Amino acid sequence: MGDEDKAVIMVMGADRIGIVAGIAEALAEDNVNIVDLASTKMSDLFVMVLLADLSSAKEDISSLKSRLEARGRELGVQVVTYHYNIFKVMHKV
Sequence spans of domains, the chain: 3-91
The CATH class given to the 3-91 domain equals: alpha beta
Let me know the angle formed at the C-alpha of 81 by 80 and 85, rounded to the nearest 5 degrees.
135
Predicted confidence at residue 86, as pLDDT, reads: 64
Predicted confidence at residue 93, as pLDDT, reads: 52
Q: Contact 54/32 with Cβ under 8 angstroms?
A: yes
Could you tell me the pTM of the whole model? 0.88
- Integer Rg of the chain from CA: 13
Mean pLDDT of the chain: 91
Structure confidence by residue, pLDDT tens digits, 6-48: 999 999 999 999 999 999 999 999 999 999 999 999 999 999 9
